[in-house]
Amino acid sequence: MKENILMASDMNDYFNKKKSEGGGYKQSNSGGNSGGPSGPQMPNMNFNFGGGKAAFLYVLIGLVIVLILAKPFTIIQEGERGILSTNGKYQEQALLPGLHFIVPIIQKVYTVDTKVRIINYASHLETNTGRESGIVGKRAITVLDKRGLPVSIELTVQYRLNAQFAAQTISNWGFTWEDKIINPVVRDVVRNVVGQYDAESLPMIRDKIAAEIEAGLRKNIASLKNSPVILQSVQLRDIILPTKVKDQIERVQIAKQEVQKAEQDVQRAKQDALKKAAQAQGVADQARIEAKGKADAITINADAQAKANLLISKSLTTKLLQLKQIQVQGKFNDALRDNKDAKIFLTPGGSTPNIWVDTKDVKQRTTAR
Protein backbone atom coordinates (compact mmCIF):
# COMPACT_ATOMS: atom_id res chain seq x y z
CA MET A 1 0.00 0.00 0.00
CA LYS A 2 2.87 2.34 0.85
CA GLU A 3 4.62 1.53 -2.47
CA ASN A 4 1.44 2.40 -4.45
CA ILE A 5 1.25 5.77 -2.75
CA LEU A 6 4.90 6.53 -3.56
CA MET A 7 4.46 5.57 -7.25
CA ALA A 8 1.46 7.85 -7.61
CA SER A 9 3.41 10.73 -6.08
CA ASP A 10 6.36 10.20 -8.47
CA MET A 11 4.07 10.14 -11.52
CA ASN A 12 2.43 13.36 -10.43
CA ASP A 13 5.82 15.07 -10.07
CA TYR A 14 6.91 13.81 -13.50
CA PHE A 15 3.86 15.21 -15.33
CA ASN A 16 4.14 18.55 -13.57
CA LYS A 17 7.77 18.84 -14.63
CA LYS A 18 6.95 18.08 -18.26
CA LYS A 19 4.20 20.64 -18.24
CA SER A 20 6.51 23.36 -17.02
CA GLU A 21 9.08 22.47 -19.68
CA GLY A 22 6.48 22.50 -22.50
CA GLY A 23 7.55 19.11 -23.70
CA GLY A 24 4.73 17.27 -25.42
CA TYR A 25 2.47 20.22 -24.85
CA LYS A 26 3.70 22.76 -27.52
CA GLN A 27 1.27 25.47 -28.63
CA SER A 28 1.26 27.26 -32.12
CA ASN A 29 -0.15 30.56 -33.30
CA SER A 30 -1.03 29.48 -36.86
CA GLY A 31 -4.02 31.09 -38.52
CA GLY A 32 -3.49 34.31 -36.60
CA ASN A 33 -4.99 32.65 -33.63
CA SER A 34 -3.13 33.60 -30.60
CA GLY A 35 -3.53 31.64 -27.46
CA GLY A 36 -5.54 28.83 -29.11
CA PRO A 37 -4.40 25.30 -28.74
CA SER A 38 -2.62 23.77 -31.71
CA GLY A 39 -3.71 20.23 -30.74
CA PRO A 40 -5.25 18.08 -27.99
CA GLN A 41 -3.95 18.67 -24.41
CA MET A 42 -3.09 16.00 -21.78
CA PRO A 43 -5.39 16.19 -18.71
CA ASN A 44 -3.76 17.15 -15.39
CA MET A 45 -3.88 14.02 -13.13
CA ASN A 46 -3.38 14.77 -9.35
CA PHE A 47 -2.19 11.73 -7.42
CA ASN A 48 -1.32 13.53 -4.16
CA PHE A 49 -3.03 11.82 -1.16
CA GLY A 50 -1.97 14.19 1.58
CA GLY A 51 1.70 13.43 1.79
CA GLY A 52 3.58 11.41 4.50
CA LYS A 53 1.23 12.21 7.43
CA ALA A 54 -1.73 10.48 5.81
CA ALA A 55 0.41 7.46 5.01
CA PHE A 56 1.54 7.14 8.66
CA LEU A 57 -2.05 7.44 9.84
CA TYR A 58 -3.18 4.65 7.52
CA VAL A 59 -0.36 2.41 8.71
CA LEU A 60 -1.21 3.08 12.36
CA ILE A 61 -4.88 2.27 11.84
CA GLY A 62 -3.91 -0.96 10.12
CA LEU A 63 -1.69 -1.97 13.02
CA VAL A 64 -4.45 -1.28 15.55
CA ILE A 65 -6.87 -3.43 13.58
CA VAL A 66 -4.33 -6.24 13.46
CA LEU A 67 -3.74 -6.02 17.25
CA ILE A 68 -7.46 -6.13 17.98
CA LEU A 69 -8.01 -9.14 15.81
CA ALA A 70 -4.88 -11.06 16.82
CA LYS A 71 -4.81 -10.00 20.55
CA PRO A 72 -1.11 -10.72 21.24
CA PHE A 73 -1.43 -10.16 25.00
CA THR A 74 -3.31 -11.44 28.04
CA ILE A 75 -3.97 -10.18 31.59
CA ILE A 76 -3.86 -12.54 34.58
CA GLN A 77 -5.89 -11.40 37.61
CA GLU A 78 -4.88 -11.74 41.26
CA GLY A 79 -5.82 -15.16 42.64
CA GLU A 80 -5.25 -16.76 39.24
CA ARG A 81 -2.41 -18.30 37.26
CA GLY A 82 -1.93 -18.53 33.49
CA ILE A 83 -0.99 -21.77 31.77
CA LEU A 84 0.93 -20.89 28.59
CA SER A 85 0.53 -23.34 25.73
CA THR A 86 2.93 -23.13 22.77
CA ASN A 87 1.84 -25.30 19.86
CA GLY A 88 -0.12 -27.48 22.30
CA LYS A 89 2.72 -27.89 24.83
CA TYR A 90 2.31 -26.38 28.33
CA GLN A 91 5.07 -24.25 29.79
CA GLU A 92 6.39 -25.59 33.13
CA GLN A 93 6.12 -22.27 34.98
CA ALA A 94 2.68 -20.71 35.33
CA LEU A 95 2.21 -17.05 34.45
CA LEU A 96 1.91 -14.73 37.46
CA PRO A 97 -0.78 -12.02 37.76
CA GLY A 98 -0.16 -9.12 35.37
CA LEU A 99 0.19 -8.33 31.65
CA HIS A 100 1.82 -10.91 29.40
CA PHE A 101 2.50 -10.76 25.63
CA ILE A 102 2.12 -13.84 23.47
CA VAL A 103 2.53 -14.84 19.87
CA PRO A 104 -0.93 -15.07 18.31
CA ILE A 105 -2.04 -18.37 16.81
CA ILE A 106 1.12 -20.10 18.05
CA GLN A 107 0.63 -19.44 21.77
CA LYS A 108 -2.45 -19.52 23.95
CA VAL A 109 -3.02 -18.84 27.69
CA TYR A 110 -5.46 -20.80 29.89
CA THR A 111 -6.47 -19.17 33.17
CA VAL A 112 -6.89 -21.31 36.32
CA ASP A 113 -8.25 -20.27 39.73
CA THR A 114 -5.89 -20.58 42.72
CA LYS A 115 -8.28 -19.17 45.36
CA VAL A 116 -9.81 -21.31 48.10
CA ARG A 117 -12.54 -23.60 46.83
CA ILE A 118 -15.19 -25.59 48.73
CA ILE A 119 -16.96 -28.90 48.20
CA ASN A 120 -20.09 -29.44 50.30
CA TYR A 121 -21.21 -33.04 50.65
CA ALA A 122 -24.84 -32.72 51.75
CA SER A 123 -28.14 -34.58 51.61
CA HIS A 124 -29.88 -31.50 50.22
CA LEU A 125 -27.91 -29.63 47.57
CA GLU A 126 -27.99 -25.84 47.51
CA THR A 127 -28.94 -24.00 44.34
CA ASN A 128 -26.35 -21.18 44.54
CA THR A 129 -23.35 -23.43 43.93
CA GLY A 130 -21.11 -23.87 40.91
CA ARG A 131 -17.56 -23.72 39.65
CA GLU A 132 -17.80 -19.97 39.12
CA SER A 133 -18.72 -19.28 42.76
CA GLY A 134 -15.94 -21.51 44.08
CA ILE A 135 -18.49 -23.69 45.94
CA VAL A 136 -19.39 -27.11 44.59
CA GLY A 137 -22.29 -29.15 45.99
CA LYS A 138 -22.23 -32.95 45.94
CA ARG A 139 -24.38 -35.67 47.44
CA ALA A 140 -23.63 -36.86 50.95
CA ILE A 141 -21.22 -39.79 51.06
CA THR A 142 -23.06 -43.06 51.73
CA VAL A 143 -20.89 -45.71 53.39
CA LEU A 144 -21.42 -49.05 55.16
CA ASP A 145 -20.54 -49.44 58.81
CA LYS A 146 -18.83 -52.45 60.35
CA ARG A 147 -22.04 -54.52 60.18
CA GLY A 148 -23.02 -53.38 56.70
CA LEU A 149 -25.59 -50.77 57.70
CA PRO A 150 -25.77 -47.67 55.43
CA VAL A 151 -24.61 -44.38 56.94
CA SER A 152 -24.57 -40.94 55.26
CA ILE A 153 -21.72 -38.54 56.01
CA GLU A 154 -22.03 -34.79 55.45
CA LEU A 155 -18.82 -32.78 55.44
CA THR A 156 -17.18 -29.70 53.93
CA VAL A 157 -13.72 -29.75 52.33
CA GLN A 158 -11.80 -26.51 51.72
CA TYR A 159 -8.79 -26.61 49.37
CA ARG A 160 -6.99 -24.68 46.67
CA LEU A 161 -4.78 -25.36 43.69
CA ASN A 162 -1.06 -25.21 44.50
CA ALA A 163 -0.01 -22.15 42.50
CA GLN A 164 3.63 -23.23 42.45
CA PHE A 165 2.84 -26.39 40.49
CA ALA A 166 -0.29 -25.21 38.68
CA ALA A 167 1.15 -25.87 35.21
CA GLN A 168 2.28 -29.42 36.12
CA THR A 169 -1.11 -30.15 37.71
CA ILE A 170 -3.00 -29.08 34.59
CA SER A 171 -0.55 -31.01 32.41
CA ASN A 172 -0.98 -34.21 34.47
CA TRP A 173 -4.63 -34.04 35.57
CA GLY A 174 -6.24 -31.65 33.12
CA PHE A 175 -8.64 -28.81 33.89
CA THR A 176 -11.01 -31.22 35.69
CA TRP A 177 -8.36 -31.96 38.32
CA GLU A 178 -10.85 -31.45 41.17
CA ASP A 179 -13.02 -34.37 40.06
CA LYS A 180 -9.92 -36.54 39.68
CA ILE A 181 -8.09 -35.62 42.91
CA ILE A 182 -10.39 -34.25 45.63
CA ASN A 183 -13.70 -36.04 45.16
CA PRO A 184 -12.46 -39.66 44.80
CA VAL A 185 -9.92 -39.28 47.61
CA VAL A 186 -12.55 -37.86 49.99
CA ARG A 187 -15.00 -40.67 49.30
CA ASP A 188 -12.35 -43.37 49.61
CA VAL A 189 -11.02 -42.05 52.93
CA VAL A 190 -14.51 -41.63 54.43
CA ARG A 191 -15.45 -45.20 53.50
CA ASN A 192 -12.27 -46.61 55.03
CA VAL A 193 -12.65 -44.67 58.29
CA VAL A 194 -16.37 -45.14 58.92
CA GLY A 195 -16.29 -48.80 57.89
CA GLN A 196 -14.25 -49.63 61.00
CA TYR A 197 -17.03 -48.77 63.49
CA ASP A 198 -20.61 -49.69 64.31
CA ALA A 199 -23.27 -47.17 63.37
CA GLU A 200 -24.45 -46.87 67.00
CA SER A 201 -21.03 -45.74 68.18
CA LEU A 202 -20.45 -43.09 65.49
CA PRO A 203 -22.26 -40.19 67.23
CA MET A 204 -20.31 -40.84 70.45
CA ILE A 205 -16.92 -40.79 68.68
CA ARG A 206 -17.73 -37.95 66.30
CA ASP A 207 -14.54 -35.98 67.05
CA LYS A 208 -12.40 -39.09 66.56
CA ILE A 209 -14.05 -39.81 63.19
CA ALA A 210 -13.50 -36.21 62.03
CA ALA A 211 -9.81 -36.30 63.03
CA GLU A 212 -9.23 -39.63 61.25
CA ILE A 213 -10.93 -38.41 58.05
CA GLU A 214 -8.84 -35.23 57.94
CA ALA A 215 -5.61 -37.12 58.66
CA GLY A 216 -6.39 -39.62 55.89
CA LEU A 217 -7.14 -36.86 53.36
CA ARG A 218 -3.95 -34.98 54.14
CA LYS A 219 -1.87 -38.14 53.88
CA ASN A 220 -3.35 -39.17 50.51
CA ILE A 221 -3.11 -35.71 48.93
CA ALA A 222 0.42 -35.15 50.22
CA SER A 223 1.51 -38.41 48.57
CA LEU A 224 0.62 -37.09 45.09
CA LYS A 225 3.43 -35.88 42.86
CA ASN A 226 4.23 -32.15 43.03
CA SER A 227 1.59 -31.59 45.74
CA PRO A 228 -1.09 -30.40 43.30
CA VAL A 229 -3.58 -29.41 46.03
CA ILE A 230 -3.23 -27.58 49.35
CA LEU A 231 -5.86 -28.86 51.80
CA GLN A 232 -7.19 -26.04 53.98
CA SER A 233 -9.67 -27.79 56.30
CA VAL A 234 -12.10 -30.69 56.64
CA GLN A 235 -15.29 -30.20 58.67
CA LEU A 236 -17.55 -33.12 59.62
CA ARG A 237 -21.03 -31.57 59.73
CA ASP A 238 -23.38 -34.49 60.35
CA ILE A 239 -23.65 -38.27 60.62
CA ILE A 240 -27.01 -39.50 59.35
CA LEU A 241 -27.92 -42.94 60.69
CA PRO A 242 -30.66 -45.36 59.51
CA THR A 243 -34.05 -44.90 61.17
CA LYS A 244 -33.89 -48.24 63.01
CA VAL A 245 -30.48 -47.44 64.40
CA LYS A 246 -31.62 -43.98 65.50
CA ASP A 247 -34.66 -45.47 67.26
CA GLN A 248 -32.47 -48.03 69.00
CA ILE A 249 -30.03 -45.35 70.12
CA GLU A 250 -32.92 -43.28 71.46
CA ARG A 251 -34.24 -46.26 73.43
CA VAL A 252 -30.81 -46.94 74.86
CA GLN A 253 -30.41 -43.30 75.79
CA ILE A 254 -33.82 -43.25 77.48
CA ALA A 255 -32.90 -46.39 79.44
CA LYS A 256 -29.60 -44.85 80.45
CA GLN A 257 -31.36 -41.68 81.54
CA GLU A 258 -33.79 -43.70 83.66
CA VAL A 259 -30.91 -45.62 85.26
CA GLN A 260 -29.09 -42.36 85.90
CA LYS A 261 -32.25 -40.89 87.42
CA ALA A 262 -32.65 -43.94 89.69
CA GLU A 263 -29.02 -43.67 90.72
CA GLN A 264 -29.51 -40.00 91.42
CA ASP A 265 -32.58 -40.81 93.55
CA VAL A 266 -30.59 -43.40 95.52
CA GLN A 267 -27.77 -40.96 96.01
CA ARG A 268 -30.24 -38.30 97.07
CA ALA A 269 -31.84 -40.73 99.59
CA LYS A 270 -28.42 -41.65 100.91
CA GLN A 271 -27.54 -38.01 101.28
CA ASP A 272 -30.83 -37.34 103.11
CA ALA A 273 -30.20 -40.31 105.44
CA LEU A 274 -26.67 -39.17 106.10
CA LYS A 275 -27.96 -35.68 106.73
CA LYS A 276 -30.57 -36.92 109.21
CA ALA A 277 -28.03 -39.19 110.89
CA ALA A 278 -25.65 -36.28 111.16
CA GLN A 279 -28.40 -34.16 112.65
CA ALA A 280 -29.32 -36.90 115.16
CA GLN A 281 -25.68 -37.38 116.01
CA GLY A 282 -25.39 -33.67 116.50
CA VAL A 283 -28.38 -33.64 118.86
CA ALA A 284 -27.00 -36.61 120.79
CA ASP A 285 -23.58 -35.03 121.00
CA GLN A 286 -25.16 -31.81 122.17
CA ALA A 287 -27.16 -33.61 124.88
CA ARG A 288 -24.11 -35.54 125.95
CA ILE A 289 -22.07 -32.41 126.07
CA GLU A 290 -24.76 -30.62 128.04
CA ALA A 291 -25.10 -33.56 130.48
CA LYS A 292 -21.39 -33.78 130.83
CA GLY A 293 -21.30 -30.07 131.40
CA LYS A 294 -23.90 -30.32 134.14
CA ALA A 295 -22.16 -33.29 135.74
CA ASP A 296 -18.89 -31.48 135.52
CA ALA A 297 -20.53 -28.46 137.08
CA ILE A 298 -21.92 -30.56 139.95
CA THR A 299 -18.59 -32.25 140.40
CA ILE A 300 -16.85 -28.95 140.40
CA ASN A 301 -19.32 -27.55 142.91
CA ALA A 302 -19.00 -30.64 145.08
CA ASP A 303 -15.27 -30.49 144.93
CA ALA A 304 -15.40 -26.83 145.73
CA GLN A 305 -17.80 -27.47 148.65
CA ALA A 306 -15.66 -30.30 149.91
CA LYS A 307 -12.61 -28.17 149.72
CA ALA A 308 -14.51 -25.41 151.45
CA ASN A 309 -15.70 -27.77 154.18
CA LEU A 310 -12.21 -29.09 154.53
CA LEU A 311 -10.90 -25.63 154.87
CA ILE A 312 -13.69 -24.79 157.34
CA SER A 313 -13.05 -27.94 159.35
CA LYS A 314 -9.40 -27.15 159.48
CA SER A 315 -10.16 -23.64 160.53
CA LEU A 316 -12.53 -24.69 163.41
CA THR A 317 -11.04 -24.47 166.91
CA THR A 318 -12.49 -24.90 170.38
CA LYS A 319 -12.53 -21.23 171.03
CA LEU A 320 -14.18 -20.55 167.64
CA LEU A 321 -16.91 -23.11 168.39
CA GLN A 322 -17.49 -21.61 171.79
CA LEU A 323 -17.78 -18.20 170.12
CA LYS A 324 -20.31 -19.54 167.59
CA GLN A 325 -22.26 -21.21 170.44
CA ILE A 326 -22.38 -17.97 172.35
CA GLN A 327 -23.62 -16.14 169.23
CA VAL A 328 -26.35 -18.70 168.60
CA GLN A 329 -27.31 -18.81 172.25
CA GLY A 330 -27.66 -15.08 172.14
CA LYS A 331 -30.05 -15.30 169.21
CA PHE A 332 -32.18 -17.88 171.04
CA ASN A 333 -32.22 -15.78 174.15
CA ASP A 334 -33.54 -12.94 172.10
CA ALA A 335 -36.17 -15.24 170.64
CA LEU A 336 -37.26 -16.51 174.08
CA ARG A 337 -37.94 -13.02 175.24
CA ASP A 338 -40.63 -12.74 172.57
CA ASN A 339 -41.88 -16.34 172.83
CA LYS A 340 -41.51 -17.72 176.32
CA ASP A 341 -43.39 -20.93 175.49
CA ALA A 342 -40.88 -22.00 172.86
CA LYS A 343 -39.07 -25.28 173.40
CA ILE A 344 -35.51 -25.79 172.31
CA PHE A 345 -33.91 -29.20 171.72
CA LEU A 346 -30.16 -29.13 171.87
CA THR A 347 -27.82 -31.53 170.09
CA PRO A 348 -25.78 -33.85 172.14
CA GLY A 349 -23.10 -31.88 173.84
CA GLY A 350 -25.24 -28.75 173.77
CA SER A 351 -23.16 -27.07 171.14
CA THR A 352 -25.96 -25.84 168.84
CA PRO A 353 -29.74 -26.09 168.92
CA ASN A 354 -31.27 -28.68 166.62
CA ILE A 355 -35.06 -28.07 166.90
CA TRP A 356 -36.97 -25.01 167.90
CA VAL A 357 -40.67 -25.58 168.55
CA ASP A 358 -43.11 -22.76 169.17
CA THR A 359 -45.54 -24.17 171.84
CA LYS A 360 -48.04 -21.40 171.14
CA ASP A 361 -48.67 -22.93 167.68
CA VAL A 362 -51.09 -25.80 168.21
CA LYS A 363 -49.92 -27.66 165.15
CA GLN A 364 -46.28 -27.51 166.06
CA ARG A 365 -47.06 -28.42 169.66
CA THR A 366 -48.99 -31.53 168.64
CA THR A 367 -46.25 -32.59 166.27
CA ALA A 368 -43.62 -32.08 168.92
CA ARG A 369 -45.43 -34.44 171.28
Run of H or E including 273: helix 243-315
Q: Range with the lowest mean pLDDT among 12-21, 53-62, 164-173?
A: 12-21
pLDDT digits 0-9 by tens, 40-78: 454 454 444 455 778 888 888 877 787 777 678 889 999
Rounded Cα distance, 235 and 213, in Å: 9
The full set of domain ranges for the chain reads: 1-17+46-70, 73-113, 117-241, 244-315, 318-368
DSSP letter for 232, please. E
Interval 113-136 mean pLDDT: 82
Q: Which positions ≥6 away from 142 have C-beta within 8 Å?
A: 150, 151, 152, 153
| Pick among 3.40.50.1100, 1.10.620.20, 3.30.479.30, 3.40.605.10: CATH of 117-241 | 3.30.479.30
State how far the Cα of 190 lies from the Cα of 153, in Å rounded to an integer: 8
Residue 363's pLDDT is what?
52
Q: pLDDT tens-digit profile of 250-273? A: 777 788 888 888 888 888 888 888
CA 157 to chain centre: 16
Contacts of 117 (CB under 8 A, 6+ apart): 134, 135, 136, 158, 159, 160, 161, 178
Q: Of 169, 196, 164, whose CA–CA distance to 182 is shortest?
A: 169
What type of residue sits at position 268? Answer: R
Q: Collapsing DSSP states into helix, strand and coil, what is residue 216? A: helix
Across 7-16, 98-107, 135-144, 267-276, the highest mean pLDDT is recorded for 135-144
Residue 328's pLDDT band, with cuts at 50, 70 and 90, is: confident
For residues 309-321, give the mean pLDDT.
74
Least confident of 15-19, 121-125, 187-191, 325-329: 15-19
DSSP reduced 3-state for 76: strand
Question: What pLDDT does 23 receive?
Answer: 45
